[in-house]
Amino acid sequence: MHDLKRDFLRYLAQTSDSPIGLEIERAEGSWLYCSGGQRYLDFISGIGVSNLGHGNPEVLGAIERQAKRHLHAMVYGEYVQRAQVELAARLAGVLPPSLNRIYLTNSGAEAIEGAMKVARKHTGRAGFVAFDGCYHGDTTGAMALGGNPVFRSPFGTLIGPVRHLPYGEAGELRRIDDSIAAVVVEPIQAEGGVRIPSLDFMGGLRRRCDEVGATLVFDEVLTGFGRTGRLFGFEHFGVVPDLIVLAKALGGGLPLGAFCGSDQRIGTLAHDPPLGHITTFGGHPLSCAAGLAALNVTLREKLWERAALQGAKLIASLRDLVAEQMVAVRGMGLLIGIEFRAPALAQAFVARTIERGVIINWTLNAERVVRLAPPLTIGDEELEFALHAMGEALRELR
Ligand code: PLP
């Protein structure tokens, strides 16, 4: 018989020595169904993508209709393609006017790279500031911003110069100076251990960027589209960035990213030289059709309100578990971190919870923190199922 798992390990490039390796047969709502007949509650939305759960009928219908119209037709930016235009217009309608010009990409990292190029071209400067613990993707530019030297150092010279500052420390923002093209920041650090900065820090960051003429870039790849209890993370802080980077849930389950800013900023890519930033598949019509349907559902159902409600319940119940191995539970909406006393405890907790049918994972740059990011549509019974599994897993760690 054809051994899928063996061929997965034999032919696909591996990213670690210990992949979860579940054989996914199909997915529906908040659940993943495997070939062995088991099902798992997708408590990370794989990761941060399936905000509407899996198999939303409006998204599937939009994909089917677009597939019948056309797939790829031309590199991004040449032909007028309805799916791209309609998504961009809808997105512009929910973003502040200064973020109304949208460049569509394939992924989050590609959108980060685009934002870095815009900032350099617009300011005529070379330097970047990013923050300890941050994650912006794994292409060489995005990785250079990454806030964990363990991941950067094996790859030699990456794009520079990048200055890393401590996340959340307003006093350090003076180190942003007029050599800096852009400051790239997550409004809530996800891979950094679900860290939530203060209003003071974010306000100070906006003021400092204005003082020195640096471009303030918000990476909302994970925090966008309702995940944190607002449509976008920046809304929590009363700060509007100069560029916003989106991906993950943007494509409704298909690959799609975007960087958005003012006409003046994004317009720098259209000349000197023209075609200095192009992409074959960026803004693929299928992804845009899925993304528009997903955005329409998100807006109609006000899913950010649901994220806030379900997130508050989940955080309160997790705090009630009060296990001695846990240091803290924190989060915004349905982006939640559980901090343990030691990395080994976090890893054991993840393994035990998955054994009980709930998929969770730890964070890349904070080994003691486990991240929860279920679909925003998660139901009460599903929350109960997850809490029961996590409670049992904690008891087993004692
Ligand atoms: N930025 C953040 C905050 C992310 O979480 C990620 C991916 O996890 C990225 C950027 C990179 O996105 P992609 O994996 O689509 O390149």
How far is Cα 366 from Cα 71, in angstroms, rounded to an integer? Answer: 40
Model pTM above 0.95? yes
* DSSP strands (E only) in 61-213: 101-105, 127-131, 162-165, 180-185
To the nearest 10°, report the CA torsion of 71, 73, 74, 80: -100
How far is Cα 35 from Cα 37, in angstroms, rounded to an integer? Answer: 5
For residues 236-260, give the mean pLDDT: 98
Which residue's alpha carbon is at the smallest distance from atom 2 of ligand 1?
A: 136
How far is Cα 52 from Cα 226, in angstroms, rounded to an integer? Answer: 10
Respond yes or no on whether the N-terminal peptide bond of residue 161 is cis (omega within 30° of 0).
yes
Q: Are 360 and 255 in contact (CB under 8 A)?
A: no
For the cut 60, the answer to whether the pLDDT of residue 352 exceeds it is yes
How far is Cα 351 from Cα 221, in angstroms, rounded to an integer? Answer: 26
Q: Are 195 and 186 in contact (CB under 8 A)?
A: no
Q: What is the percent of the chain where pLDDT is above 70?
A: 99
Residue 128 three-state SS: strand
To the nearest 10 degrees (0 to 180), the angle between helices 380-397 and 343-355 is: 130
pLDDT per residue as tens digits for the range 156-215: 999 999 999 999 999 999 999 999 999 999 999 999 999 999 999 999 999 999 999 999
Say yes or no: CB of residue 256 within 6 Å of ligand 1. no
CA angle 296, 32, 308 (to 5 degrees): 45
Which residue's alpha carbon is at the smallest distance from atom 12 of ligand 1?
A: 108
- Mean pLDDT score of the chain, rounded to an integer? 97
Say yes or no: CB of residue 220 within 6 Å of ligand 1. no
Bridge partners of 164?
130
Residue 325 has a pLDDT of 87
How far is Cα 147 from Cα 134, in angstroms, rounded to an integer? Answer: 5
Residue 342 has a pLDDT of 95
> Tokens 């003021």, residue?
207
Confidence tier at 252 by pLDDT (50, 70, 90): very high
For residues 63-90, give the mean pLDDT: 98
Ligand 1 atom closest to the Cα of residue 139 is: 16
For residues 373-383, give the mean pLDDT: 98
For the cut 80, the answer to whether the pLDDT of residue 1 exceeds it is no
How far is Cα 208 from Cα 260, in angstroms, rounded to an integer? Answer: 21
For 14, other C-beta atoms within 10 Å of its C-beta total: 10
Cα–ligand 1 centroid distance for 144 (angstroms): 13
Residue 323 has a pLDDT of 82
For the cut 90, the answer to whether the pLDDT of residue 333 exceeds it is yes
Cα–ligand 1 centroid distance for 100 (angstroms): 22
Residue 282 has a pLDDT of 98
For the cut 90, the answer to whether the pLDDT of residue 2 exceeds it is no
Residue 230 has a pLDDT of 98
Q: What is the percent of the chain where pLDDT is above 90?
A: 97
Which residue's alpha carbon is at the smallest distance from atom 7 of ligand 1?
A: 137
Say yes or no: CB of residue 251 within 6 Å of ligand 1. no
Strand 326-332 and strand 24-28: pairing? unpaired
Beta-carbon contacts of residue 90 (< 8 Å; ≥ 6 apart): 292, 295, 296
Cα–ligand 1 centroid distance for 251 (angstroms): 13
For residues 18-26, give the mean pLDDT: 96
User: Alpha carbon of 22 to those of 6, 17, 19, 355, 359: distances in Å?
Assistant: 12, 15, 9, 12, 11
User: Alpha carbon of 229 to those of 97, 130, 232: distances in Å?
Assistant: 22, 25, 8
Residue whose CB lies within 8 A of the most ligand 1 atoms, among 107, 113, 135, 371, for a mutation test? 135
Strand 101-105 and strand 162-165: pairing? unpaired
* DSSP strands (E only) in 191-332: 215-219, 243-246, 257-261, 326-332
For residue 376, what is the DSSP state? T
pLDDT per residue as tens digits for the range 272-320: 999 999 999 999 999 999 999 999 999 999 999 999 999 999 999 999 9
For 58, other C-beta atoms within 10 Å of its C-beta total: 16
Q: Are 314 and 382 in contact (CB under 8 A)?
A: no
Beta-carbon contacts of residue 152 (< 8 Å; ≥ 6 apart): 143, 144, 146, 158
For 47, other C-beta atoms within 10 Å of its C-beta total: 15
Burial (CB count within 10 angstroms: exposed 0-12, middle 13-18, buried 19+), residue 203? middle
